[in-house]
Amino acid sequence: MKLVILDTAEAIAQRAADEIEALLTAKPNAILGTATGSSPLPLYDELTARCAAGRISFAEVTGFMLDEYVGLPEGHPERYATFMETNLRSRVDMRPGALHGPNALAEDLQAACQEYEEQMAAAGYCDLQILGIGTDGHIGFNEPGGPLDSRTHVDVLTEQTRRDNARFFNDDIEAVPTHCLTQGLATIMEARKLLLIATGEGKAQAIRELVEGEISAEWPATVMQGHDDALVLVDPAAASLLTRD
**Could you give the residue numbers annotated as active site?**
67, 136, 138, 143
Is the Cβ–Cβ distance between 204 and 241 less than 8 Å? yes
Round to whole Å and give the CA distance between 36 and 49: 19
Strand runs labelled E in the chain: 2-5, 31-34, 62-65, 67-69, 99-100, 128-131, 153-156, 179-182, 193-198, 230-234
137 vs 182, 221, 236, CA distance in Å? 15, 6, 18
167 vs 141, 164, 229, CA distance in Å? 17, 7, 33
Q: Which residues pair with residue 69 across a beta bridge?
A: 180
CA angle, 47 then 48 then 51, to 5°: 85
Cα 232 to chain center, whole Å?
12
Phi, psi of 13 (to 5 degrees): -60, -40
Using DSSP, state whether 3 is helix, strand or coil. Answer: strand
DSSP single-letter state for residue 93: T
Using DSSP, state whether 138 is helix, strand or coil. Answer: coil
Round to whole Å and give the CA distance between 115 and 113: 5
